[in-house]
Amino acid sequence: MTDTSIDERPRHLRIANPKPARNRQDALVILASSLAAVLLSLIVAGLVLWVSGKDATALFEKMWENLTSSNKLYEMVDRATPMIIAGVAVAIGFKMNLFNIGVEGQYLMGVFFAAVIGTQFELPAVLHVALIMVVALVAGSLWAAVAAVLKVTRGVNEVIATIMLNALALNLIDFLFTEYFRFESASLDVKTKPLPTTAWFPELVSGRLSAYILVALAVALIYWLIVFKSRFGYRLRASGVNAGAARTGGIAAKKMILASMLLSGAIAGLTGLKYLLGESYAYGPTRPEGFGFNGIAVALLGRNHPAGIVISALLFGFLDSLSGPLQIAKIPSSIVLVIKAIILLGVVIVNEVVSVKVARRTADRTAAQLEVAGAAA
Amino acid sequence: MSATIALPDSAPPPPPDSPKMSLALRVLGSRKLLWTGLSLFVVLSIIRATQDGADDLTSSGTIETTLRFTMPILLAGLAGLWAERVGVVNIGIEGMMIFGTWFGGYAAWKWGPWVGLLAAIIGGMLGGLIHAVATVTFNVNHVISGVALNTLAFGSMRYLSELLWDRSDIQGAGISQSPQQKSALPRFDLPFVSGGRIGSWQSPDLMGWFEKRGWPILGDIGGIVKGLTTNVSAGTLIALSLVPISVWVLWRTRFGLRLRSSGESPQAAESLGVRVIPLRYAGLLISGGFAGLGGGYLAIVASSYYRQGQTANKGFIGLATTIAGNWRPTGVLASGFLFGYPEALNRVGRDAIRHLLLFGFIIALIWCITSLIRGKWARTAFGAVIGGLLLQQWLIIDENGISESLTGGLPYAITLVVLAVFSQRLRPPAHAGMPYRPGDSH
């Protein structure tokens, strides 16, 4: 934007809104600020440990140990897998200015119905897995549809609706599980009927890393294609940035809310399948939990960008992989949760501060250019 | 950056509180709601008097438990109300309540219940302060800050539990539970109404007498009044008194007017010389204090120890009562009872809860008839389907028929239904949830 001379070309050839030369510099700013937030939260965690009389250096020692052990790195990727998917699900909502707090309930519905319906069929391996994934997609999507329909037809805030649906999902699943789908087996563990081996997901590294990470990466890729490269994605982002302008531009807001919520719920439905198809092969009380929050945090930390989501999910997976070693070092593993929450708060605060700074700088520059242009004219 | 000012929607303004209106009308807000409430009560009374095992629908035991279960929801709802009235959406109530339960439980175990309540309030205010720093000073999205706060509260309080109570030398303590408190808050019975003592003399138990007779209407009134006046903890009285106090402060004082104007249109308030930022801090500290007290109630009054997960989504349900109560303290109280009642019935009146299905069927029937008169066919069909389902379930279910996990979901389902029915008639504070920076609009 150094050229401030007045554009003499005919109107239709002028570049209406010249793109500021910002991409690389802004990416660096974002990266630096996110790193700062992460470092800050680690320092706070260290301080907390030190104040409470624990060995703070052990935290960083364990981190280094985990980073240098290949088994722990596999665990990190494995733990990051569902977070990538949950993060993408949340990010789709964010792109549309919708808060899908309901990822938690949506993936539980996905896991449960996948576990129940998956045992009803006998199919060859690939088909069986595909069928289960479709069931999970549909179940998550339908559960999200409740909130979407309530929002579109009755104006119910989706935040409250999805929170209630999370609690309701747990109750509904408990009811269906205890009344209808409890499988009486010889052993004492209470689970649904186990899935046949045709539904098992292969492993990349035996006992360490499920191949489900490939599904997660594919989800991130598809998210990128749909949201950033398709017409639908353009409409979605337009409605998210400025709903009024998008409506004026002929984008049906209600349809977009429904579509994005259904898509978000569908992807959320896939979150829990790593647990179902790669670990337990049945639904039981040791169900996965907490990926709703992790998804929100990962989406925010990754700024709704697929690459950012994958990287932040890896970071959160890494933090989760610390809980075992920390326990051994006599450090309460709940410190990991504290670190995550502080990272989330820190990142959103830093994002706000940076975006205000950037906006102010842009405004100042524009003002300066206007002055120059005014003087020239 | 230009701030958007949302226009208030076209819902009619709340009725003016003129002194002519009776107290009941002022609490409920409209004549229609009063008549609806009364006729529903009559229906419930007839069901109670005619059906087997339905006594607990309005027994004093149920109502007493309802009161105890409603108070945390009420306090959470008031917390949401104070925050949203000042212009900040508070999803972090759950987290602030967790702070309250932990600090309350710890202090009550160490220094007695009164200190415990105070500590709970301070703990909640700490949460409010964090939320205020993030949302008011740094303009972080309110929902995100709240979600982060909930996790921070859960994680840090668990950390403290692991640190302090995961030892064998404190009896009854553990990784997720505090030791038992030694003393409790005083409890009262009202003399003459429900047999309270005056000195050493036991006064007559009038309402209990009515309840035992079991006549329709009178027996129910007896049960309800006795339930509301028996074994009432000092904590309950404090919580209930905060409803009129909130009304008075928010609608009758200068501070309240400024606070509400900051939630409706901070730019306008600012132009009149109100300093919005300190007000929002004050509002969020008060909100946090209410939520913390709600947590303290759970740990000190409703039980006698802190337990992980004690809040059990009460913060979120409280937020729903803020909305369903149309951002008015009395509305929050009324909808609080709506959520506390099924929970209490689920706990103490398991054999009576199936009769709620019949109650639901009658409501659906009335709904059908009124929609039919107004010629709204889709609504009629919807009501008929729901009503048919309820009736069919009621006919096939026996005493212990309903699964506990299904009735446990009742409060959440009620929330969704209530919000779906009333959402469009509600008028939230116009600026709640939106970013604000002083001086932006000039």
Q: What is the pLDDT of residue B240?
A: 95
User: Nearest chain A Cα to B412, which residue?
Assistant: A164
Q: Which two tokens stand for residue B416?
A: 């969704």
Higher pLDDT, A42 or B205: A42
What is the Cα–Cα distance from B120 to B114, expressed in whole angstroms?
10
Q: Is the pLDDT confidence value at A25 over 70?
A: yes
Nearest CA distance, A300 vs chain B (angstrom): 9
What is the Cα–Cα distance from B327 to B81, expressed in whole angstroms?
6
* H or E segment and range at residue B188: strand B187-188
Q: What is the pLDDT of residue B2?
A: 40
What is the Cα–Cα distance from A115 to B332, expressed in whole angstroms?
40
* HSE (side-chain half, CA atoms, 13 Å) at B55: 8
What is the Cα–Cα distance from B418 to B334, expressed in whole angstroms?
12
- Stretch B97-112: mean pLDDT, rounded? 94
Picking from B158, B162, B419, the nearest residue to A156 by CB comes out as: B419
Q: Cα–Cα–Cα angle for B358, B359, B363, nearest 5°? A: 115
Q: How distant, in Å, are the alpha carbons of B17, B55, B404 from that of B392?
A: 44, 22, 19
What is the Cα–Cα distance from B303 to B301, expressed in whole angstroms?
5
* H or E segment and range at residue B201: strand B201-202
Under the phi-then-psi rule, with left for phi > 0, alpha for psi from -120 to 50, and beta for the rest, what region is A303? Answer: left
Q: Which of A25-29, A248-252, B196-200 has the highest mean pLDDT?
A: A248-252
Chain A interface disruption, residue of B139, B141, B151, most A CBs within 10 A: B151
Q: What is the pLDDT of residue A54?
A: 83
CATH of A55-362 among 1.20.120, 3.20.20, 1.10.3470, 1.10.443:
1.10.3470
**Which phi and psi angles does B183 have, rounded to 5°?**
-130, 160
Q: pLDDT (tens digit, 9 = 90+) per residue, A50-59?
A: 988 888 888 8
Number of Cβ pairs < 8 A linking chain A and chain B: 136
* B427–A contact, CB cutoff 8 A: no
Q: Is the pLDDT confidence value at A330 over 70?
A: yes
Weakest mean pLDDT among A107-121, B216-230, B392-406, B421-435: B392-406
**Which phi and psi angles does B272 have, rounded to 5°?**
-95, 10
Q: What is the pLDDT of residue B113?
A: 94
Chain A interface disruption, residue of B90, B140, B145, most A CBs within 10 A: B140
Which residues have C-beta within 8 Å of that of residue A146, sequence separation ≥ 6?
Answer: A161, A165, B416
**pTM for this predicted structure:** 0.88
User: Nearest chain A Cα to B151, which residue?
Assistant: A341
Q: Decide yes or no: CATH 1.10.10 for domain B57-189+231-344.
A: no
**Which phi and psi angles does A203 have, rounded to 5°?**
-110, 145
Q: What percent of chain A has pLDDT over 70?
A: 92
**Which phi and psi angles does A339 have, rounded to 5°?**
-60, -45
Length of chain A: 377
Weakest mean pLDDT among A99-108, A338-347, B117-126, B376-385: B376-385
Q: What is the pLDDT of residue A15?
A: 45
Under the phi-then-psi rule, with left for phi > 0, alpha for psi from -120 to 50, and beta for the rest, what region is B28? Answer: alpha
* Cβ neighbours of B320 in A, within 8 Å: 160, 164
- Stretch B257-261: mean pLDDT, rounded? 94
Q: Is the pLDDT confidence value at B350 over 80?
A: no
Residues facing A191 on adjacent strands: A183
* B423–A contact, CB cutoff 8 A: yes
What is the Cα–Cα distance from A79 to A281, expressed in whole angstroms?
17
What is the amino acid identity at position A235? R
Q: pLDDT (tens digit, 9 = 90+) per residue, B306-338?
A: 998 899 889 999 998 998 888 999 989 988 998
> Is B148 in Cβ contact with A348 (below 8 Å)?
yes
Chain CA centroid to CA B270, Å: 32
> Is A178 in Cβ contact with B159 (below 8 Å)?
no
Residues facing A210 on adjacent strands: A203
- Stretch A206-226: mean pLDDT, rounded? 92
Q: Is the pLDDT confidence value at B160 over 80?
A: yes
Chain B interface disruption, residue of A40, A293, A301, A348, most B CBs within 10 A: A348
Picking from A155, A165, A296, the nearest residue to B147 by CB comes out as: A296
Q: pLDDT (tens digit, 9 = 90+) per residue, B3-43?
A: 444 444 444 444 444 445 555 555 555 677 778 888 888 88
Q: What is the pLDDT of residue B11?
A: 42
Q: Is the pLDDT confidence value at B353 over 50?
A: yes
> Coil, helix or strand for B112?
coil
* H or E segment and range at residue B12: none
Q: Is the pLDDT confidence value at B74 over 90?
A: yes
Closest CA to A61 of A342, A334, A328, A339: A328
Chain CA centroid to CA A12, Å: 41
* Mean predicted lDDT score pLDDT of chain B: 85
Q: What is the pLDDT of residue A11?
A: 52
3-state secondary structure chain A: CCCCCCCCCCHHHCCCCCCCCCHHHHHHHHHHHHHHHHHHHHHHHHHHHHHCCCCHHHHHHHHHHHHHCHHHHHHHHHHHHHHHHHHHHHHHHHHCCCCCCCHHHHHHHHHHHHHHHHCCCCCCHHHHHHHHHHHHHHHHHHHHHHHHHHHHHHCCCHHHHHHHHHHHHHHHHHHHHHHHHCECCCCCCCECCCCCHHHCCCEEECCCEECHHHHHHHHHHHHHHHHHHCHHHHHHHHHHHCHHHHHHCCCCHHHHHHHHHHHHHHHHHHCCHHHHHHHHCCCCCCCCCCHHHHHHHHHHHCCCCHHHHHHHHHHHHHHHHCHHHHHHCCCCCCHHHHHHHHHHHHHHHHHHHHHHHHHHHHHHHHHHHHHHHHHHC
Q: pLDDT (tens digit, 9 = 90+) per residue, A222-275?
A: 999 999 999 999 988 888 888 888 888 888 888 889 999 999 999 999 999 999
Q: Are A261 and A69 in contact (CB under 8 A)?
A: no
Q: What is the pLDDT of residue B351?
A: 76
* Cβ neighbours of A143 in B, within 8 Å: none
- Stretch A302-311: mean pLDDT, rounded? 92
Weakest mean pLDDT among A22-26, A276-280, B241-245, B348-352: A22-26
Q: What is the pLDDT of residue B3?
A: 42
What is the amino acid identity at position B123? G
Q: pLDDT (tens digit, 9 = 90+) per residue, A357-376?
A: 888 888 888 888 888 877 77
Complex ipTM value:
0.86
Closest CA to B409 of B353, B365, B355: B353
Q: What is the pLDDT of residue B16?
A: 46
Q: What is the pLDDT of residue A8?
A: 57
* B147–A contact, CB cutoff 8 A: yes
Q: pLDDT (tens digit, 9 = 90+) per residue, B287-300?
A: 999 999 999 999 99
Q: Are B296 and B101 in contact (CB under 8 A)?
A: yes
Q: Is the pLDDT confidence value at B195 over 80?
A: no
Q: pLDDT (tens digit, 9 = 90+) per residue, B80-100?
A: 999 999 999 999 999 999 999
Nearest CA distance, B172 vs chain A (angstrom): 20
Q: Which two tokens stand for residue B208?
A: 């209990």
Ranges of each domain in chain A: 55-362
Which residues have C-beta within 8 Å of that of residue A154, sequence separation ≥ 6?
Answer: B419, B420, B421, B423, B424
> Coil, helix or strand for B338?
helix
- Stretch A152-179: mean pLDDT, rounded? 90
Picking from B149, B150, B415, the nearest residue to A164 by CB comes out as: B415
Q: How confident is the model at residue A23 (pLDDT cuts 50, 70, 90)?
A: low
Q: What is the pLDDT of residue B438?
A: 79
What is the amino acid identity at position B397? I
Report chain B's C-alpha Rg in angstroms.
Answer: 23
Q: Are A109 and A89 in contact (CB under 8 A)?
A: no
Q: Are B290 and B125 in contact (CB under 8 A)?
A: no
DSSP letters, B271-329, are: HTT--HHHHHHHHHHHHHHHHHHHHHIIIIISSSS-BTTTTTTHHHHHHHHHHHTTT-H
Closest CA to A73 of A209, A207, A164, A203: A209
- Stretch B242-262: mean pLDDT, rounded? 94
Weakest mean pLDDT among A57-66, B2-11, B162-171: B2-11
* Mean predicted lDDT score pLDDT of chain A: 86
What is the Cα–Cα distance from B178 to B109, expressed in whole angstroms?
8
Q: Is A107 exposed, middle or buried (0-12, 13-18, 19+ CB in 10 A)?
A: buried
Picking from A171, A352, A359, the nearest residue to B140 by CB comes out as: A352
Higher pLDDT, B270 or B442: B270
Q: pLDDT (tens digit, 9 = 90+) per residue, A341-350?
A: 999 998 888 8
Chain B interface disruption, residue of A352, A357, A360, A366, most B CBs within 10 A: A352
Q: What is the pLDDT of residue B354?
A: 80
